[in-house]
């Protein structure tokens, strides 16, 4: 499903955020990216979403080499991917409902489908009743949950989650993890960058550890450290 | 497909409501710019009319001897009629002794001594020839054809006047064209500017849309519709202002010219632009506003689309 | 204190560099608006000069009988001199028989029959009186004082001409003032608009500054300095354009009037605005640009300051 | 130092984020605010910073009733408070150095002081060498550390920290907590909203727990749950 082959990413010509990284993620796997702050976790997720191109190496997603992809095909790639961004990236002048609905509108879902699915998903992440709020009328954790809802509302093939529980209390975070596990069970490949040792240790999934841009560990059924 | 249209319309409407500082700014700029454009069309039309009138006034006079025979007069007339037929001369009315005498007395109303020295019988008759061209070379050539013909006393053209009118109308065409280009250029520049600034304020929004998988057109269309509607509202305001200005303008000219027969010579009434033409300006403004708004927004959005 | 100044300057400079889309937009709008304002000053000045010239041309003529005695002429002249002293009459040159005769022949250059009917001895002499006022009531009153005096043949005023000039100059004053107000209003509106949009784009920045403990003035001053500099650059561009336009304008008028003595009557040369006045417009533009930029930015920032 | 007296905060006329909350924090104390997502932790911190006024009740900070404070005195209040915002609130078109320096410029520090102190503080939070980056050239955790640096560079009386470790790996987070403890030792009062059970449980400081806007627990030397 996802393959990195000797990928190096250098920002602005001098910040090497990822050095010669390779791994292979089969369809349906759940994988944790761990490592200290600034080690390159978000960079990997950005490469998979074609937010950036690597300076060296190839990135394969859903059978396609996305470095060689035409610009016009990028939107189609992104629609197969659900993204939970570290800084949420919500549309500030859309309501909670509209933010989540946007991911469905982009793939051309008719209105009645949107009206039915969005409230359902918002209910799952515990935001029922907050549909009409704007992002800046929400707490940090609530905004994060909106971004979680948007990422999987269109049932993507792949889910890229950057710290999806960073601003959540343990109980709510656990709820989100249960959700991700359920989504993973339906065949969605999930790559999640996290700092939460408790979660990583309790789930016992594959763990890829980074340190200053280098993959230093790749362990099935791993723990945080 | 229908859901796409619905989506685009809803998006547009929300863009309006939620960014209304930007919306107001865009609409205002569009209105001002289009008004400038409209005024430039208006000025050009008004001066075109006046220039047309002026060039109608360029003429030379073929004086017949007071004792010229009817045949001699008829010969000159027939030449002039040929020239009229071939389009070199626009018109060439003949003024007989009575009419010449009346004009003489009118011209010398302020100078009674002179006024009373000549009798009607002594007046020369004349053809007032209005050439089709304002060009003084063409006119001089024309004059040469009459000078020295039998029965012709003299051919006189107010040479200076011809030169002045010819130069002046060239000058005024130049000024109004320059004004037109500057005002229209300004209008386009301002609209473009405002749209770009508004897009700049919304660049993060655009970035997020791209990251969620929206195609460029999916993002652009609501912005373009928004621009289109802003342009339309702007042009509506501009059109209303222009129509209002035209009413005031026409009223002022009417009141200035009221009861002044002499004013005709100043061609002032020709500054009045007919409401038909104003209507055509309004149509142009609306098309221009809609196009500039939509295209401008589409292009400006593109700048922020490469994520 | 010194560190504050340094801070403000550094902030300003960074605002420039890092928001250059906004900077370019603001500068461009300021330039365009100030150019409009400058052009409006320019137009008003040009027409003022022409109107001044026109009103100088309003006159009536006191015709003396060809056989009036020297005493009679002297009496009329002394009355006119009194009126000149009290400011009712601007000037009243006397035209003797020779001068009158020459003018008559010049006027009738195109009509040889008429031209040759009068001798110099038969010409009436005349005072050409230029009243200080353009008001036709005042002028009629003045005319009444000469009509019927011994040795006076007649007093004639081109009544229509006086009325037309008086109405026309009122009309043109109205048009240029209206244009001036519209262009200047537009300029102010556009600048305000751009500043507000630019501030809107930076509202989150302002919010953060407040939350970190910056006072309103601490935030405002760099924005105001930025606006001031943008205004200055804009007015520099506008001034340069205006000077350039004036050079072109003056050149065109010169080339139109070259070799045309008659053109003086059209008052065309009076449309030339002296470079001294253009200089004073430039000063005004610079002051206006700096003030509008600084004040506008300060006020617009305030909208986003209440956190 | 800080006192809340029966404070109620209602957003937009219908969202009661805080209900009748009272507590008293003496100078030099270190206190944790805990509770599920949306329970009102950030709201309390915003009230202390005078970002909002409460609908009912009084808020006292540094001996002043800040509800009754004139607008003109608010900047002075805020300069005594260091703030780590949940969403960082960095100035996006200033570099890391300038962002931190801003807190010193606001209080009128001369340039040589700024040049000396800012690099020192950036070093403490582990950002040495990244002075000239802009916020969007940093990883999530690095941005968070910039906001930590800005909050204490001017040695404030009070430090309000909203999830200062939310985007940090455990090791870096621990480093930040050590820093906060050291600052607290110099007499600075610290109020910190957090979801990190490990940190709360290991520090054994006073814990105020919120649930749907109500204070349900106020325990000295408390634990997360
Ligand atoms: N500006 C606002 N307008 C309306 N409602 C708001 C606003 N800010 C917060 N709220 C609501 O107030 C409640 C408390 O918000 P607060 O940010 O204090 O929660 P929190 O405890 O910080 O949560 P988290 O851990 O998720 O950050 C939430 O339900 C939130 O939706
Ligand atoms: N746009 C950018 N320009 C320049 N450097 C960048 C950019 N984005 C990230 N970096 C740098 O690349 C390195 C890796 O960043 P990345 O965001 O991948 O880290 P991370 O593992 O996600 O960290 P965190 O846990 O703090 O989010 C960091 O040193 C960061 O400063
Ligand atoms: Mg990251
Ligand atoms: Mg919070």
CB contact under 8 A, C19 and D93: yes
Average pLDDT of the residues of chain C: 79
CA distance A101 to A160: 19
pLDDT at A220: 93
pLDDT at C264: 47
Question: What letter would DSSP give residue C271?
Answer: G
CB contact under 8 A, B196 and C21: yes
In this model, does residue A59 exceed pLDDT 90?
yes
With CA atoms as reference, the chain B residue closest to C32 would be: B186
Atom of ligand 1 nearest to the CA of D40: 18
| pLDDT tens-digit readout, A120-163 | 999 999 999 999 999 999 999 999 999 999 999 999 999 999 99
pLDDT at C263: 44
pLDDT at B263: 44
Residue C178 token pair: 């209206």
Strand segments (E) across chain C: 60-64, 89-91, 94-95, 125-131, 152-156
CA distance A117 to B7: 16
Could you state, in order of their start, the residue ranges of all structural domains in chain B? 2-52+163-303, 60-157
Question: Which helix (DSSP H) or strand (DSSP E) does residue A55 occupy?
Answer: none
Interior CA angle at A33 toward D197 and A150, to 5°?
80
Residue C77 pLDDT class (50, 70, 90 cuts): confident
| pLDDT tens-digit readout, C273-288 | 888 899 999 999 999 8
The values of phi and psi at residue A58, to 5°, are: -120, 145
A69-73, B171-175, C300-304: the lowest-pLDDT one: B171-175
Q: Average pLDDT across each block of 10 residues of chain D; the chain has 225 residues. List them in order.
A: 95 92 95 95 96 94 91 92 94 93 92 94 94 94 95 94 93 93 95 95 95 95 88
Return the best residue to mutate from A88, A131, A138 for the ligand 1 pocket (most ligand atoms within 8 A of CB): A138
Greater confidence (D198 vs B172) lies with D198
pLDDT at B95: 78
- The CATH code for residues C60-157 is 3.30.70.3040
Q: How far is CA B83 from CA B76, B94, B148, C13, in A?
A: 11, 15, 18, 72
C23-37, C236-250, D154-168: the lowest-pLDDT one: C23-37
Residues D16, D18, D19, D24: what is their CA dihedral angle, to the nearest 10 degrees? -170
Contact between residue C100 and residue C65 where contact means Cβ atoms under 8 Å apart: no
What subunits touch chain D, counting only 3 or more CB pairs under 8 A?
Answer: A, C
B254 CB-near residues (< 8 Å, 6+ apart): B272
CB contact under 8 A, C61 and B268: no
In this model, does residue B186 exceed pLDDT 60?
yes
* Helix, coil or strand: residue C212: coil
Average pLDDT of the residues of chain B: 79
CA distance B237 to B245: 12
pLDDT at B56: 67
In this model, does residue B57 exceed pLDDT 70?
no
pLDDT at C266: 55
CA distance C151 to B267: 39
- The closest alpha carbon to C301, from C187, C172, C212, C214, belongs to C214
Contact between residue A100 and residue A91 where contact means Cβ atoms under 8 Å apart: no
Residue D137 token pair: 């050239």
| pLDDT tens-digit readout, A182-194 | 999 999 999 999 9
In this model, does residue B110 exceed pLDDT 60?
no
Centroid of ligand 2 to alpha carbon of A16 (angstroms) = 9
Q: How many CA atoms lie within 13 A of A13 on its CB side?
A: 0
pLDDT at B261: 53
CA distance B35 to B41: 10
Give the pLDDT mean for B184-197: 73
| pLDDT tens-digit readout, B216-250 | 999 888 888 888 998 999 999 999 999 998 998 88
Question: What letter would DSSP give residue B273?
Answer: P
pLDDT at B114: 62
Looking up tokens 């909106």 gives A146
* Helix, coil or strand: residue C134: coil
Q: Provide the whole-model pTM.
A: 0.81
CA distance A64 to C160: 89
CA distance A54 to A38: 17
Greater confidence (D219 vs C200) lies with D219
Residue C118 token pair: 């009068």
- The closest alpha carbon to A47, from A59, A56, A35, belongs to A59
B284 CB-near residues (< 8 Å, 6+ apart): B37, B38, B41
Q: How far is CA A49 from CA A43, A195, A210, in A?
A: 10, 21, 19
B32-46, C89-103, D198-212: the lowest-pLDDT one: C89-103
Q: Which residues of B touch A72 (CB under 8 A)?
A: 215
CB atoms within 10 A of CB A200: 19
The overall longest dimension of chain D from CA atoms, in Å, is 49
Looking up tokens 């998903």 gives A121
Query: Which residue, among C61, C105, C111, C158, would best test binding to B if mutated, counting the most B CBs under 10 Å from its CB?
Result: C111
Q: How many CA atoms lie within 13 A of C245 on its CB side?
A: 21
C72 CB-near residues (< 8 Å, 6+ apart): C64, C149, C150, C151, C152
Q: Residue with the nearest Cα to atom 8 of ligand 1?
A: A137
pLDDT at C119: 73
In this model, does residue C265 exceed pLDDT 60?
no
pLDDT at B104: 67
Interior CA angle at D54 toward D52 and D60, to 5°?
90
Residue C120 token pair: 């110099």
Residues across chain A:
225
C9 CB-near residues (< 8 Å, 6+ apart): C225
Question: What letter would DSSP give residue D137?
Answer: G
* Helix, coil or strand: residue D219: strand
Contact between residue A181 and residue A199 where contact means Cβ atoms under 8 Å apart: no
Contact between residue B59 and residue B131 where contact means Cβ atoms under 8 Å apart: yes
- The closest alpha carbon to C38, from C282, C258, C277, belongs to C282
Instruction: Name the residue facing A142 among D35, D38, D87 (closest C-beta).
Output: D38
In this model, does residue A66 exceed pLDDT 50?
yes
Task: Write down the H helix ranges in D7-57.
Answer: 41-48
Contact between residue D53 and residue D65 where contact means Cβ atoms under 8 Å apart: no
* Helix, coil or strand: residue D225: coil
CA distance D46 to C307: 11
Centroid of ligand 2 to alpha carbon of B261 (angstroms) = 83
- Chain Cα centroid distance, residue B15: 38
Return the best residue to mutate from A9, A15, A18 for the ligand 2 pocket (most ligand atoms within 8 A of CB): A15
In this model, does residue B115 exceed pLDDT 70?
no
Question: What letter would DSSP give residue B257?
Answer: H
**What is the DSSP track for B150-169?**
TTEEEEE--HHHHHHHHHHH
**Burial track B70-109 (b if 16+ CB lie within 10 A, e otherwise):** eebbebbeebbeebbeeebbbebeebebeebbeebeeebe
CB contact under 8 A, D167 and A42: no
In this model, does residue C211 exceed pLDDT 90?
yes
Percentage of the residues of chain C whose pLDDT score is greater than 70? 82
pLDDT at C160: 58
CA distance A78 to A74: 6
For the question of an ipTM over 0.90, the answer is no
CA distance C91 to C131: 7
Give the pLDDT mean for C280-299: 89
Contact between residue A207 and residue A222 where contact means Cβ atoms under 8 Å apart: yes
CA distance A94 to A97: 8
Residue B7, min C-alpha distance to chain C (Å) = 26
Residue C227 pLDDT class (50, 70, 90 cuts): confident
Question: What letter would DSSP give residue C95?
Answer: E
Residues A183, A185, A188, A191: what is their CA dihedral angle, to the nearest 10 degrees? 80
The overall longest dimension of chain C from CA atoms, in Å, is 98
Residue B38 token pair: 């409209």
In this model, does residue C305 exceed pLDDT 50?
yes
CA distance D133 to C53: 66
Highest mean pLDDT among B83-97, C65-79, D38-52: D38-52
**Burial track C248-286 (b if 16+ CB lie within 10 A, e otherwise):** ebbebbeebbeebeebeebbbbbbbbeeebbeebbebbb
Q: Which residues of D touch A138 (CB under 8 A)?
A: 38
């Amino acid at each position: 499903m996802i393959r990195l082959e000797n990928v190096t990413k250098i920002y602005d010509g001098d910040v090497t955020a990822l050095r010669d990284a390779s791994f292979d993620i089969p369809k349906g796997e759940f994988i944790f990216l761990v490592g200290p702050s600034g080690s390159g976790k978000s960079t990997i997720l950005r490469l998979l979403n074609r937010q950036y191109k690597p300076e060296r190496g190839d990135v394969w997603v859903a059978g396609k080499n996305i470095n060689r992809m035409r610009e016009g095909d990028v939107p189609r790639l992104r629609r197969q991917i659900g993204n939970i961004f570290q800084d949420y990236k919500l549309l500030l002048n859309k309501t909670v409902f509209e933010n989540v609905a946007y991911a469905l509108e982009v793939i051309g879902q008719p209105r009645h489908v949107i009206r039915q699915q969005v409230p359902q998903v918002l209910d799952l992440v515990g935001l029922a009743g907050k549909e009409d709020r704007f992002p800046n009328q929400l707490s940090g954790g609530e905004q994060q949950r909106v971004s979680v809802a948007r990422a999987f509302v269109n049932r993507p093939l792949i889910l890229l989650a950057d710290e999806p529980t960073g601003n959540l209390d343990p109980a709510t975070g656990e709820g989100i993890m249960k959700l991700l596990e359920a989504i993973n069970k339906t065949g969605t490949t999930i790559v999640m960058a996290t700092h939460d040792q408790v979660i990583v240790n309790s789930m016992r999934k594959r763990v890829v550890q980074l340190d200053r841009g280098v993959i230093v560990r790749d362990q099935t059924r791993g723990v945080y450290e | 497909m229908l859901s796409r249209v619905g989506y685009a319309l809803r998006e547009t409407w929300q863009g309006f409501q939620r960014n209304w500082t930007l919306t107001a700014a865009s609409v205002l700029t569009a209105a001002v710019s289009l008004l400038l454009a409209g005024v430039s069309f208006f000025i050009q039309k008004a001066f075109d009319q006046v220039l047309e009138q002026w060039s109608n006034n360029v003429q030379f006079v073929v004086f017949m001897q007071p004792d010229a025979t009817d045949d001699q007069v008829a010969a000159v007339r027939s030449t002039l009629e040929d020239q009229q037929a071939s389009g070199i001369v626009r018109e060439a009315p003949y003024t007989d002794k009575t009419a010449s005498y009346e004009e003489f007395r009118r011209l010398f109303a302020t100078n009674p001594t002179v006024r009373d020295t000549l009798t009607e019988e002594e007046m020369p008759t004349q053809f007032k020839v209005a050439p089709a061209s304002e060009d003084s070379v063409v006119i001089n050539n024309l004059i040469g054809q009459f000078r020295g013909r039998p029965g012709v006393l003299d051919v006189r053209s107010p040479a200076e006047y011809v030169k002045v009118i010819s130069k002046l109308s060239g000058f005024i065409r130049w000024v109004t064209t320059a004004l037109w280009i500057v005002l229209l250029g300004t209008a386009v520049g301002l609209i473009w500017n405002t749209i770009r600034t508004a897009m700049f304020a919304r660049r993060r929004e655009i970035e997020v849309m791209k990251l969620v998988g929206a195609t460029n057109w999916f993002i652009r269309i609501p912005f373009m519709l928004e621009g289109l509607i802003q342009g339309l509202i702007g042009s509506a305001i501009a059109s209303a202002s222009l129509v209002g200005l035209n009413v005031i303008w026409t009223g002022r000219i009417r009141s200035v010219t009221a009861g002044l027969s002499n004013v005709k010579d100043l061609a002032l009434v020709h500054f009045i632009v007919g409401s038909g033409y104003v209507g055509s300006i309004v149509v142009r403004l609306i098309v221009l506003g809609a196009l500039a708004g939509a295209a401008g927004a589409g292009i400006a959005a593109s700048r922020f689309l490469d994520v």
